[in-house]
């Protein structure tokens, strides 16, 4: 959704709009506090002042730190969960109306995809400009005089102008509002109440006809059909898991007339409620679920962001600034049925077929018992108890391939991004040559097509909402989690445990540490402990690696090089692997050695022609070394880091 045309359209409508401030709030949350399912009464800006939190807008998750800015539309559901001891932020609520003729000219903005309902999150390059305006805006808004209120309105326009300029400079990705997701969440929270099409239309501030059309486009069902089926699923659970009377169950899912409830239940399930309870001893969590859908099935999910920069490297998932979303994964009813049917057929085949997929006879009963006994139950980062095969043969561990290769494991599919051409982790292709690719957002159909016997996910965001349930129906799914994502050593050890290769993981770490120690000694003899920095140069921006993450961990911790003050300063406020560096800061970079990941598409000499580079000590000394996208500098792991060490030694030690 990003692009110049989108921003031009935004500017056009902002220019036409009449904007009114509804409220300006300065909120400070402390440990133990949270905000759950707060429905924004109007469009809103959220600007983080200090601390950290996990914020969800319509079930899209954002990891928010100091100076992050988010925007959400009216009706969006806001959830805030602290990730640090404190989280302080501004909340600016506003209303924007557009003249009717303008809206007729902009029919593409119908269904709440106009700029006032667009959702985005990013870290501004110049946050203090926005902060200073908001600080004054809050003061004037809380003033008693009409003049103060008028000044507050002019300050809001100043804020919007500065925001639009920074959005344009940073090429921020935006996504439309999710009215259907909002409607689904409303149904999930109010299904026991009286819900009509008119009430849903009122919630979404559009006509009943629009609600029906949008709902059918995204779910293949009308809102009322969805409501009924959701109620029936809730009723099944109550029938199976409680001793409640039929009258109590009917009332609990929104029906005051028990006879009408019974007729509706039989119509949708083919059996009366009483007989359903008698005939089913299993719980609702069995495979059969004809309408397994939640808000997460409709809303886009975030795994950590993928920028619009042309490089499309996954390291940018953790880069500072833009936090755009994955493309929506919308598992339809057909997909859920397909998953269930596939698992059912597979189960039948394994029990009745005389031969396996390879034409060989199945294992004996005793062998099956031995295999079951050798399976291990491991608890993942999300608390799931995962039954892991003793020796998995068909593993999908997208973007964790460095660890797999280090452990001697070849996945059945490897991580990729397709934007015109397919991008993979080039530095691993010697070992992964011939391995098919799978899209980075792991569509359910694609995962299922590879018939994995184990799926390993790197972060909780990858399986947010109901996605974990969907993946775990395909194969046992283990989530490593964010805490270990930030420490590649712990991540390797964890994956080693999951793959029953702990010994190999420890050996890989020991080999790497010995190599790093030897390289550190060579560097100290050759150049001492001079300052060095790694930069990622793209066509639109320059990023510096964080002091303790990615290749920064290699340069400063493993190789013992000194940290430039510019890198230290950026790392104090930034939380990502690669941190955006302004031209002003770049000009003051106090590095004796520069290692450039060159994604700009021009020669190193062309890059250094820009006068802003001239004052950097490394440039003056001719100690600048560049590497293309085939290098491993944007990644982490024993293999990536070993290649970086080789690059440094080859460049520096003569």
pTM: 0.50
Q: 60 or 84: which carries more pLDDT confidence? A: 84
Q: Which residues contact 221 (CB under 8 A, 6 or more apart)?
A: 215, 229, 291, 333
Q: What local confidence, expressed as pLDDT, does residue 176 receive?
A: 53
pLDDT band at 514; cut points 50, 70, 90: very high
Residue 112, by phi and psi: left (phi above 0), alpha (psi -120 to 50) or beta?
left
Cα-based distances in Å from 495 to 281, 427, 489, 548, 615? 37, 20, 10, 22, 45
Question: Highest mean pLDDT: which of 297-301, 487-491, 508-512?
Answer: 508-512
Q: What local confidence, expressed as pLDDT, does residue 154 receive?
A: 92
For the ranges 76-80, 207-211, 335-339, 426-430, the lowest mean pLDDT is seen at 335-339
- Give the integer Cα–Cα distance in Å for 141 and 144: 8
Closest by CA position to 454, among listed 406, 396, 527: 396
The string of pLDDT tens digits covering residues 12-59 is 777 778 889 999 999 999 988 888 878 788 889 999 999 999 998 876
Task: Kindly report the number of other CB atoms within 10 A of residue 329's CB atom.
Answer: 21
- Give the integer Cα–Cα distance in Å for 131 and 124: 10
Query: What is the average pLDDT value for the chain, to the nearest integer?
Result: 78
3-class DSSP state for residue 325? coil
For the ranges 132-146, 278-292, 442-456, 466-480, the lowest mean pLDDT is seen at 278-292
Task: Kindly report the number of other CB atoms within 10 A of residue 274's CB atom.
Answer: 12
3-class DSSP state for residue 31? coil
Residue whose tokens read 């440094």: 648
Task: Kindly report the number of other CB atoms within 10 A of residue 268's CB atom.
Answer: 17
Q: Which residues of 68-80 are buried (b: 16+ CB within 10 A; e: fewer)?
A: bbbbbbbbbbbbb
Contact 227, 187 (CB under 8 A): yes
Cα-based distances in Å from 625 to 149, 595, 621, 628? 55, 5, 12, 10
């Amino acid at each position: 959704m990003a692009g110049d045309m989108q921003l031009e359209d935004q500017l056009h409508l902002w220019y036409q709009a009449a904007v009114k401030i509804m409220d300006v709030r300065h909120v400070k949350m402390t440990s133990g506090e949270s905000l759950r399912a707060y429905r924004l009464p109007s469009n809103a800006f959220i600007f983080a002042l200090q601390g950290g939190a996990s914020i969800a807008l319509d079930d899209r998750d954002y990891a928010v730190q100091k100076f992050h800015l988010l925007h959400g539309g009216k009706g969006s559901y806001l959830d805030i969960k602290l990730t640090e001891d404190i989280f302080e932020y501004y909340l600016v609520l506003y209303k924007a109306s557009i003249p009717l003729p303008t809206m007729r000219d902009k029919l593409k903005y119908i269904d709440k995809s106009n700029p006032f309902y667009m959702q985005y999150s990013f870290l501004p390059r110049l946050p203090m400009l926005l902060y200073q305006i908001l600080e004054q805006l809050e003061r004037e808004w809380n003033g008693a005089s009409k003049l103060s209120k008028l000044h507050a309105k002019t300050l809001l326009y100043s804020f919007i102008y500065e925001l639009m300029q920074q959005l344009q400079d940073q090429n921020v990705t935006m996504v439309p509002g999710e009215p259907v997701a909002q409607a689904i969440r409303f149904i999930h929270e109010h299904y026991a109440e009286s819900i009509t099409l008119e009430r849903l239309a009122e919630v979404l501030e559009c006509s009943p006809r629009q609600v029906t059309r949008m709902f059918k486009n995204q779910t293949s069902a009308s809102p009322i059909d969805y409501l009924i089926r959701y109620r029936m699923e809730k009723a099944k659970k109550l029938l199976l898991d409680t001793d409640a009377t039929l009258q109590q169950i009917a009332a609990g899912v929104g029906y005051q007339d028990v006879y009408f409830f019974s007729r509706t239940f039989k119509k949708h399930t083919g059996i009366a409620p009483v007989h359903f309870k008698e005939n089913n001893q299993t719980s609702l969590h069995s495979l059969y679920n004809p309408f397994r859908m939640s808000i997460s099935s409709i809303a886009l999910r975030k795994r950590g962001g993928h920028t619009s920069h042309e490089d499309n490297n996954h390291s940018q998932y953790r880069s500072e600034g833009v936090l755009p979303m994955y493309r929506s994964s919308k598992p339809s009813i057909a997909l859920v049925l397909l998953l269930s049917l596939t698992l059912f057929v597979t189960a039948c085949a394994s029990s009745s077929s005389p031969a396996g997929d390879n034409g060989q006879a199945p294992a004996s009963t005793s062998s099956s018992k031995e295999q079951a006994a050798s399976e291990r139950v491991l608890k993942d980062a999300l608390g799931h108890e995962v039954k892991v095969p003793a020796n998995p043969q068909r593993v999908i561990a997208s973007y964790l391939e460095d660890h797999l290769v280090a452990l001697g494991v070849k996945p059945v599919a490897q991580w990729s991004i397709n934007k015109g051409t397919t991008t993979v982790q080039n530095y691993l292709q010697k070992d992964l040559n011939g391995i098919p690719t799978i899209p980075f957002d792991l569509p359910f159909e694609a995962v299922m097509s590879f018939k994995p016997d184990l799926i390993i996910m790197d972060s909780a965001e990858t399986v947010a909402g109901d996605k974990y349930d969907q993946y775990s129906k395909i194969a046992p799914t283990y989530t490593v989690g964010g805490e270990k994502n930030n420490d590649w050593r712990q991540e390797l050890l964890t994956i080693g445990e999951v793959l029953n290769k702990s010994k190999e993981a420890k050996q890989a770490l020991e080999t790497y540490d010995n190599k790093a120690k030897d390289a550190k000694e060579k560097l100290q003899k050759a150049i001492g402990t001079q300052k060095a920095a790694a930069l990622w140069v793209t066509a639109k921006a320059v990023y510096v690696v964080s002091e303790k993450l990615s290749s920064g961990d290699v340069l400063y911790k493993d190789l013992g090089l000194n940290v430039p003050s510019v890198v230290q300063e950026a790392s104090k406020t930034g939380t990502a692997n690669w941190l955006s560096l302004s031209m002003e800061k770049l000009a003051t970079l106090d590095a004796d050695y520069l290692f450039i990941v060159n994604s700009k598409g021009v020669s190193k000499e062309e890059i250094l022609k820009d006068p802003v580079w001239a004052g950097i000590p490394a440039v003056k000394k001719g100690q600048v070394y560049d590497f293309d996208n085939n290098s491993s500098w944007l990644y982490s792991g024993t293999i990536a880091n070993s290649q970086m060490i080789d690059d440094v030694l080859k460049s520096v030690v003569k």
